[in-house]
Amino acid sequence: MQTHAEEGVQLVLLGNKTDREEERQVEREEAIAFSKENGMLFCEVSAKTSEQVSKAFEQVAAELLKTNNQTGEERINIMAT
């Protein structure tokens, strides 16, 4: 993604299956460190229970608005369909 994506694309690392904590393969701290090192947002979610899924989208939207405000670019309209 970082090689082929347009400049300024916000990447997000999602840790899935938080509803199955006992089967965790990557420690939270390791995932946080990786996401920071690679300029990504990080959020743990559960697709099964929908836990934190909305938060992941909200984080991306907030980061896009923050970035656009800092660069003076026109605001992005974010609409749920």
Counting the structural domains of the chain, the total is 1
Q: What is the pLDDT of residue 53?
A: 92
Closest CA to 8 of 55, 59, 63, 54: 63
Q: Is residue 26 one of the residues assigned to a domain?
A: yes
Please list the pLDDT of the chain residue by residue as tens digits (81 residues).
Answer: 667 767 778 888 999 999 999 999 999 999 999 999 998 999 999 999 999 999 999 998 898 888 777 766 555 555 444
Q: Is residue 55 one of the residues assigned to a domain?
A: yes
Q: What is the pLDDT of residue 16?
A: 93
Q: Is residue 24 one of the residues assigned to a domain?
A: yes
Note whether 45 and 16 are within 8 A (CB).
yes
Alpha helix (H) residue ranges in the chain:
28-37, 53-71
Note whether 40 and 11 are within 8 A (CB).
yes
